[in-house]
Amino acid sequence: MTEKNLQALLLKRYALAAGTYLLVLGLAWLAWLAGLARVSLSCAVVASALVLASQAVLLALFTSGANRRYADPSLTEAQVLLAIALVTMLLAGLQSARGLFMVLYVILLLFGMFHLSRWVFIRCALVAFGSFCALLWALAWFGRLSDWPQALLQVSVLLVALVWLCLYASYVQACRQRMRQRRYALQAHQDTLRGMMRQLEDLVATDELTGLFNRRHFLRLASQELAALRPGRSHGLALIDLDHFKRINDVHGHAAGDQVLQAFAQVAATCLRDGDVLARYGGEEFVLLLLECDVDRLSLCCERLRLAYQNAAPIAGRALPLSLCAGMTLLNVGDDLDEALQRADKALYRAKRNGRNQCAAAWTHADA
């Protein structure tokens, strides 16, 4: 989840808490109007203003992003402790309705069940229980607690409710931890599977001997590039054949022939740009695609590749005669890839017929 999305989620949680405050505030005023609260109008107004001010401060923290400076950007524990203080203040002004409003302790702790750790949640529950007990003790001290049996029953009920809530919260958090571990394990398996899929795609698309793309993958890439070709632009296409390769195999063995193919792939890697596509087309034949290319650049590239291959280092300690032929053509908008390959193949055949070790262009001959 991005930081922006997380902040938006925290604002929604704050809005839920603020809405709950407004509802409780409305219930408190209803109790005051019903004569169930022993506070003056001015005290009720001040208490309401205090609640609204606390929510305004929290709103400023979330909207300004200042909450992100804290270890817990949600400020869950701070909001729960603030709510405990405000609920205790509310209960201090109530008489017979105090038992009804005790349920607010449970509601505010539910707010932190999914975001507080086990021990922080228990600590908040102890603060709530201690606050209520301190409230009853203060009322008794000032002689405002008239019904002791009812007060003891309220303490007992609150204690049972908070203990059950702590046990249930621990169970919920343990379940969430197990689910989180399973999600991480599943994500690790998915990452492994994606890596294996990428390896499989590489194996399917790559020629094992030379490390170049194979014919199938080249045809797919070339078709995509041809379809995306813009008007007025062209791609360069060349078929390359290594001269006398069969003779090298017959005289020096297939191992030497494999080394010749690998040597060509290494030489080509130093002559081509990033983005140029070279693939093994079959046997000793290769195919080259130069993107955004014109006649001059295609000719220069193929000639540079021919000379570099001709001057390659000795293979297996033997100075083998290395040369190649190339047949070149251009891909334009609306061209058919098979027809373009046929043009390049005809130019390649002409290069072989004219003595090998040369590059021939389809656009310089009538049969192109």
* Helix (H) or strand (E) segment spanning residue 278: strand 277-282
Termini Cα distance of the chain: 57
Annotate 33-45 with b (16+ C-beta within 10 A) or e (fewer): eeebbebeeeebe
**314 phi/psi in degrees, rounded to 5:** -55, 145
**DSSP for 126-184, written as a single string:** HHHHHHHHHHHHHHHHTT----HHHHHHHHHHHHHHHHHHHHHHHHHHHHHHHHHHHHH
* Distance, CA of 319 to CA of 95 (rounded, Å): 106
Please name which of 112, 21, 28, 116 lies closest in space to residue 59, comparing C-alpha atoms.
21
**355 phi/psi in degrees, rounded to 5:** 120, 0
Q: Active site includes 3?
A: no
Instruction: Provide the residue type at 81 as one letter.
Output: L
**DSSP for 335-362, written as a single string:** --HHHHHHHHHHHHHHHHHTTSSSEEEG
* Distance, CA of 118 to CA of 97 (rounded, Å): 31
Specify the residue for token string 């009853």. 136
**Candidate list 77, 208, 225, 284, residue with the active-site label:** 284
* Distance, CA of 361 to CA of 368 (rounded, Å): 8
Query: Which amino acids are annotated catalytic?
Result: 284
